[in-house]
Each structure stands twice: as structure tokens, then as C-alpha cells.
Amino acid sequence: MHVSRNPTSPPPDNLLGVLRTLWRWRKPILLTTAAGAILSIVVSLLLPVYYTGYTSFVALSPEQISIESTFGNTGQRVQFYGTGDDIDRLLSVAESNEVIDFLVDSFNLYSVYEIDSTTAKGPVRVAEELLSHYDIERNPRDVIELTIEDKDPLRAADMARAARRRVDEINLALIRSTHRRNAAGLLREVEDGQRRLDELNERLSQIRQESGVYNTETQSEVLATTSSSVDQRIALTEARLEEFRSRGTRDSIVKLSVDLSGLRRSREAIDQQLERLNASIGRIDNMQEERLRTNDELTQSRTRLKQYETILVGERSTMEVIEEATVPLVKSFPIRWLIVVGVTMVTFILAVVGALLIDSGRRYDWGRITR
């Protein structure tokens, strides 16, 4: 059966006991809480003031500094912003010892943090101190946020800006190292191609000098035309010679005989040239084709090498700045009111718990229990 409780009935005994105990201990609780509040005020006032230098940026795709995107060697769409791998690479670079050492040296942080640089643990201590004020993370929108806290607001902004630029330089050097390896390979190809072309030119020149053939197409046409003309003249001269022999004209016979002899020697010379041409035309044509192919390959390699040399110099960046680091006007730490309120609340709770424990402990005969 359900029994309804009278709303005007007194609270349970255990709750009344707690309230009675707190009322008896109200003064110690209030004094302890006040002492904690006063102590937190004093401590918060003694804490050094820090300002936060803040900058944010997004990673750019390495394709932005490739020869394909720079010179339009591909018809495909080039990705503008970096992927997760590119963002992770920037984060890894930002957390590397190279960036930390750069900041320590550039801003003389041994003196700023009052750490002795001559001790064995000096580099470790200054790095730990810097890392306690240095943070870089990726937000849900893939924007990288870099923050550095320092007592000097101007130095905080300068350090954040310098750290971002150093991260960009190191990341750019990593990407360009791949381009340099490719350029070195192309340079070797250019040197080998030039050496092969020089050898082909030398061999081709030697064959031409030995054979007397310099242009196979032109000389073939000229020799063919000359050979046909000489054959016609020989046939005509022989016919005229026979005509004059039948007439018995001695002077004309002698002259035509001399002309015919000269034409026949010309025919022999042309035949010798044709033999040399036929013997060397295959080698010359093959070497000329190889020379053209080698020259085309060499031209392409030189063009690509020049493109690599172009992207390896000049102003390049692997990130796009969203928010530049500016001198902070408001301190970021300590938040004194939050410290005072937090410590006061914790002190009050501990004082209440302590009072309840002490009062509860008085109800027992500890001497009898421990016997």
C-alpha cells in the first residue's frame, strides 16, 4: 500500500546531523575558506603575466611548386590545398628539434628563461621550458594554429611569426630535396646525351669524309641526274661518231673520239661515286636518324632541367597564412579571478569535508577500538 509523506514532516535525522555539524564548525570553515581565498589572491598576484602570440595557416599542396603546375605540363586539375599527409608533415616539422633550436638561438631563450647554457642539462631544460609555452595543433577545419606564450607581448608575436616561417622553410627544403634529386638525374641524362651526340657527330663526320657523301638525298638526286645525262651524251656521241666514220671525216672522228673517251671516264667516276654512296648511305641514314632522336631527347631533358632549376629558386611557400601574428594586447595567463574563485571553492569543500570527518570521528572511542 502506498503511503504519502507529509511535506511538512521534518527532514531525516542524518541530514539534520550534517547541518548541525556544519553549524558548529561554521567559524573554522569560514576562516579556512577565507585563508584559502586570501592565499590564492596573493599567489595569483605573484604569478608572472604571459601573453600569447598566435598565428594560423593552411597547408598547400606540393603540386603548387611542381613543374607540372608551374609550366602547365599536364592538363589535369592541380590540387591547391594540402591533404592530411601534408598537414601531418607540417605538424611534425613544427615539433622538430630544428625549429626548437632555431627559436632558442634566435631569441636567446637561455637568457630569457634564466637557464645556464654551460651545464649538461641546459639544452634539455631550455627546450622543456619553451615547449611548455609552445603549442601547435590542427583544428577541425584543417587549419593549423601555432601559439607561443611569453612575458613580453612583442617577443611572443615575433616568436610565433618566426616559428611559422621556419616551419615553412624546412618543409619547402624537404619538398625541394626531391626536386633536386630529379634535377641531378636530369643533369646526368643531359651530360650522357651530349656525350652520345658528340660521338655520333664525330663518327658521322668521319664516314662522310671517307665516303665523300655529305647529303645522301641531294647527292643521290644529283648523281642520278648526272648519270642519266652522261648516258644520253655517250649515246649521242657514239651515234655521231658512227655517222662521221661512215663519211670518212677524219677531224670530226678524232674530236668525237676524244669527247667519247672523256664521257666514259666521267661515267666511271659517277659509277665510283654511286658505289661509295650505296655503300655508306645505310650507315649515314641510320646515324642521322639516331642523331635526330638523340638531339630531341637531349632538348627535352634540357627543357625539363631548366624547369627544375626555375622552381628551385625564387620565392615559394608551402602554406597560406590565415592570420598573421600580431602583438597581443590582453594577457592570456594568469586569469586571476578564475584562480581565486577556484581555490576558494576547493578550500570550502575541503573544509566542509574535514569538519564532517572530524565530527564523525569524535563519536567513536578510538582508544577502545585500537585495544
Chunked mean pLDDT (size 10), the chain, 371 residues: 46 64 79 85 79 92 66 61 85 92 93 89 92 92 92 93 94 84 82 84 72 57 66 73 67 69 70 61 69 83 77 78 88 75 87 78 58 54
Which amino acid is it at 130?
L
Q: Which ranges constitute the DSSP H helices of 25-83?
A: 26-46, 67-71
Tens of pLDDT, residue by residue over 131-147, are 999 999 999 888 999 99
Which pLDDT value is given to residue 281? 62
Which pLDDT value is given to residue 216? 55
pTM, two decimals, is 0.62
| Residue whose entry in the numeric block shows the C-alpha cell 645522301 | 216
Give the helix/strand (H/E) hosting 55: strand 51-59
